[in-house]
Chains A and B, each alone.
Chain A
Amino acid sequence: MSDLQTLEAEISAAIDAATTEAALEDVRVAALGKKGSVSEKMKTLGKMSPEERKEMGPALNGLKTRVGDAIAARKEVLKKEALEARLASETIDVTQPLRVAPAESGRIHPVSQVTEELTAIFSDMGFSVAEGPDIETDELNFTALNFPEGHPAREMHDTFFFNPKEDGERLLLRTHTSPVQIRTMRNQEPPLRIIIPGRTYRCDSDQTHTPMFHQMEGLVIDKTTHIGHLKGTLEEFLKAFFEVENVELRFRPSFFPFTEPSMEVDVKCDRSGAEVKIGEGEDWMEILGCGMVHPNVLRNCGLDPDVYQGFAWGMGIDRLAMLKYGMADLRAFFDADVRWLKHYGFRPLDMPSLMAGLSR
């Protein structure tokens, strides 16, 4: 028996000494392989007397099982150690910074974003979006809109003109998006609810005026809409746009050739700081012009002003963007300075919607 104990002790020592799975395999072959030390002992069982066998059988089988278990256990340990060593060797510095993903880097221009914000609000109120060309006729930009002959807006110092054609017609760059009102009223049957965003042009250039700017016009034509609706619509719109609980508006009588009565709208705000805060404060700031569509304009579109009525308003998209998002200089809108675009631009997946809020 002492042989077996000695053998078991030797094998155990060999197992413990094995530091790799390969070395352990060598130990297993040396003990349990075909010619292994334990296997050789097992072969001697056949030649033994029944008594001896009765004694040695269990002893040898026990030895074989214990050696097998010890190797398996050791194998697990070595495998785990090997994995740990591999993982340790694979360590990398995860603080290394990534490249900025394209979707994180690209920006939407504030004019586009604000236009989509306006569209989100007005589409919910049943307005669709109408558009028209930048190069317009004098008729659509002025005459049909009830601008009298000799009106200063018709002069070269206000309006960009093209050279007269052979027949004397002189095209121009539209000075407002109002020609699209005429185009729509002439081509569609009321009831009408449209907004008209677009580029407009005037000979003007300073910090708050650029020769090109963006306007959004609105038009409602039906048989019942009056100034009360105009007030309500603009109040709701401004509240939604500036994302504030309340806005206080002041409607002042004013004058535009294409509306009668005409009004300018001031919004109550706080102008004490560097940025204008809508919905608080005690200052008034002019924000848009509006009125009931002038009977002559309706007539010019083939609509009977005793039957049809409605309102129109116009406002600067760039100006709304400046008021909401705090840009100070209109000229920067058109400079494409990437520093400005990154600062004031919007992320590509920030789509304005009413259900998720217009802005983050």
Chain B
Amino acid sequence: MKFTLSWLKDHLETDASLEEILERLTMIGLEVEEVTNPADRLGSFRIAHVLEAVQHPNADRLRVLKVDTGEGEPVQVVCGAPNARTGLKGVFAKPGDYVPGLDVTLSVGKIRDVESFGMMASERELELSDEHDGIIDLPEDAPVGVPYVQYAGLDDPVIEIGLTPNRPDCAGVHGIARDLAASGLGTLKNTEKTQFNANFDANVNVRIELGETTEDCPAFGYRVVRGVKNGPSPKWLQKRLVAIGLRPINALVDITNYITFDQGRPLHVFDADKVSGDLVVRYGKQGEELVGLDGKTYQVDESVVVIADDNGVESLGGIMGGEVSGCDENTTNVIIESALWNPLTIARTGRKLGISTDARYRFERGVDPTYTMEGLDLATKLAVEFCGGEPSAPKLTGEIPQEERMIDFPYSEVKRLSGLEVSHAEIKAVLTMLGFWVSGTGDVVKVSPPSWRPDVHGKADLVEEVMRIVGIDKVPSATLPRMEPVSQKVLTTSQIRRSNARRALAARGLDEAVTWSFIPAAHAEVFGGGQPELKLANPISADMSDMRPSLLPGLLAAAQRNADRGFPDVALFEVGQVFLGDSEKDQKVMVSGVRRGTAVLDGAGRHWSGNSEAVHVFDAKADAEAALSAIGVATDKLMVFTDAPSYYHPGRSGALKMGPKNTLAYFGEIHPQTLEDLDIEGPLVAFEIFVDAAPEPKKKPTKSKGAFVAPDLMPVRRDYAFVVDKGVPVEKLLRAARGADKALIVDVTLFDIYEGQGVPEGQRSLAIDVMLQPTKKTLTDEDIEAVSAKIVQAVAKSTGGALRS
């Protein structure tokens, strides 16, 4: 919403400075977005007198002027304007001045061998209008040497406020003035109504044919003015329209635009002689179209409310009029329309047709219904004033809705919700100034909001009115009382786990990434996603179409992007959500990571201490176990399975589980086919952890870790090497050895894997170190022999392996 300071002062009697007004606007909720003053841009242009205009010696269309600029000797100016003549008073720009309409800074120039020391400007060159048929031609009495902005009254700041959607009343200057007046910044003016004596009845009929849905156009007020002479509107009005960025057209059209901004009341004018038959407000029909006032053609359909006559659609109700029935210089009889439209329908139609107009802006927010006929009267008054003619009696089709909103308002609500101490009298005064009807004398009063405030429905709305006018800065800050003397634990297990996993992985040299929740469909499909219910109906791009089923596609793509930038060795992880379906429970929290190139734990690339090898499945396994350990999983209790998903290398991947059903993690090399599908290159290893699959930590009665008992006796270590089939997993053998004597065996470590000479084909030798911890007495040779026999027997039973001879 834009307006000028002088325009505001039409409605507000005030001594406040511009700064005070701007400050107050923002503080009452009409946020000032921009203030510009044409005087700042055009201040250097002065009124000058053309003393002499003679033909340019070398060019037919140019003249050489001698110009009195009001200071010093007259200067020579070469000018191409057809109206440049001896005696003209115009606007002079000297070398060094910036001419906004041309976007150039003038310098002394030579035009066809004649020097020119400045220029005489047109309105377009000053960005005052589109007028460029000649230079500005001022009245004879214009004072030479005076700044043009001062003479022309252009020293008028243009204020733009960002209007929140709840305030249609401030889409007009009058409403803004009312708010400022209520806040104590002056007195509201222009509150009287316009009266007319009408001598005849309009010879035009308006019918509303919307069936049941009359709310799409509840009321249509109109009047005919006959015998008008349409031409340019007065300069003062044109100037205001130009100042806020509108183009003056002709008096009748300019009046509708002016009232739109002055009162927030959009209107439309039809040339009555171009309308054939009755005007009918109805829904459009498939195939109908309208050439709008903007010259563009719009297709309408059954969802669009139109105003039509016997010739077809003449206007898009409440949005834009049509070119054919519009008013021009030849208009002698005019129909002025002041109607009401349904905000929802206006918004939907505007979006659908892609039309943003000042009328739509206001109607979709809600125009004051009770001002319908007053707006019509104001337009009529101006039309008669500018164009002459004779107005008919006003007519109204439909009914202006009378909405009764009555709020029982305890004054104490202001204190309860805002904390602000305001007296009953002041609350009542503020509401009254804003146009609210307040009745009653007790602690609870009846309040009815004015018709121009469709946003006010309840007590909280009234508190807002009082608070914003009294000033939010008057509300004293208060401290929330502490709930507990000492802050309590507030994080959930899942939140704590995510934080811990994040720190553990970063401590292992991985960098945390945050990648998009939506990925390309092809990537989603490779990772088990791509279900129809996880596809966005309106993705912002094809690369962001499907909700991710895994964090890996985003991380793998990110690793490749880094490689493409010259950083092939990266280790990335992400802590975030994946989507296995569209229900709440299908959203899972994952911790996943990738290592690329040689980005192993000790660091990537070459080093004097030894070069890093390509990333390996055990790097991913180590990350997975570290992260699981950080989230509180006893990793020594985990079982390793080999059934990782198909996007992993089938022989170099695994799953970490607590029991066969509960998978906590996958890890492995990425399958070569996956790399190809994602169009990326390895070596790449990855892991994924299901954070919420880990069991909740058990609640313990105390935090005690129990007594520490140091064994008195020395532990004993023994080595064994078993020859087993290559298909036997190491873990099976280790588990058998550990279980051979649970009282004595405290640790079993694999220290060597060998295959080759001395070991039969298809088998391998696994060497383990077993630690025995006696508790009662020192072990004798016989005791150790007995344990060894148990170990050998257990391993043989479990794996078929035998001691290597």
Interface residues of A (CB under 8 A from B): 96, 99-103, 105-109, 111-112, 116, 119, 123-129, 131-135, 149-150, 152, 155-157, 160-163, 165, 170-171, 173, 191, 193, 199, 201, 203, 205, 211-212, 220, 225-229, 231-233, 235-236, 250-255, 260-264, 292, 294-295, 305, 309, 333-339, 341-342, 345, 347-349, 351
Contact = CB atoms under 8 A, between A and B. Distances in A.
B475 A231 contact: yes
A102 B508 contact: yes
9 contacts: A106-B508, A108-B502, A111-B514, A211-B518, A228-B477, A233-B480, A252-B31, A263-B472, A334-B515
Contacts of B502: 108, 112, 348
Q: Tell me if A's interface is mostly helix, strand, loop or mixed.
A: mixed
B434 interface: no
B514 A109 contact: yes
Interface in B503-519: 503-518
Interface in B596-610: 601-603, 607-609
B175 to A, nearest CB: 15
B480 A126 contact: yes
Given A109-B512, A135-B582, A160 B536 contact: yes
Interface of B: 26-29, 31, 164-167, 343-344, 347-348, 351, 415-420, 455, 458-461, 463-464, 467-468, 472-473, 475-480, 482-484, 487-488, 490-492, 495, 499, 502-518, 532-540, 544, 547, 554-555, 558, 561-562, 565, 567, 570-572, 575-577, 579, 582-584, 587, 601-603, 607-609
A10 to B, nearest CB: 54
B511 A106 contact: yes
B460 A162 contact: no
Contacts of B464: 253, 260-262
Contacts of B468: 253, 261
A165 B601 CA distance: 47
A252 B472 contact: yes
A124 B477 CA distance: 19
Contacts of A232: 477-480
Question: Which of B506, B517, B567, B576 gathers most chain A CB within 10 Å?
Answer: B506
B157 to A, nearest CB: 19
Nearest to B347: A150
B565 A337 contact: yes
Contacts of B166: 255
Contacts of B164: 254-255
Given A228-B419, A263-B472, A220 B477 contact: no
A100 B603 contact: yes
Contact of B509 (A102, A253, A337, A341): A102
B483 A106 contact: no
Contacts of A336: 511, 513-515, 554-555, 558, 561-562, 572
Task: Kindly list the 10 A-B residue pairs having the minimum CB-CB distance in the complex, ordered from nearest.
Answer: A253-B29, A228-B419, A102-B509, A261-B464, A255-B164, A348-B506, A336-B558, A106-B506, A336-B513, A228-B478
B582 A171 contact: yes
A161 B538 contact: yes
A294 B508 CA distance: 47
Given A116-B499, A203-B540, A295-B460, A129 B490 contact: yes
Given A126-B482, A261-B467, A338 B537 contact: no
A246 to B, nearest CB: 13
Nearest to B609: A99
A170 B538 CA distance: 12
A38 B503 CA distance: 75
Contact of A345 (B475, B511, B579): B511
Contacts of A226: 415-419, 478
A157 B572 CA distance: 33
Given A228-B418, A232-B477, A341 B513 contact: yes
Nearest to B536: A160
Contacts of B26: 252
Nearest to A333: B514
B419 A254 contact: no
Nearest to B494: A131
B510 A106 contact: yes
A252 B483 CA distance: 29
A46 to B, nearest CB: 54
Given A103-B509, A111-B514, A150-B343, A228 B475 contact: yes
A149 to B, nearest CB: 7
Nearest to A232: B477
A205 B698 CA distance: 46
B624 to A, nearest CB: 16
Contacts of A335: 558, 561
A107 B506 contact: yes
Contacts of B473: 250-251
A171 B537 CA distance: 10
Nearest to A194: B490
A123 B509 contact: no
B535 A163 contact: yes
A128 to B, nearest CB: 4
A319 B205 CA distance: 57
A294 B561 CA distance: 46
Given A211-B544, A225-B480, A348-B507, A334 B603 contact: no
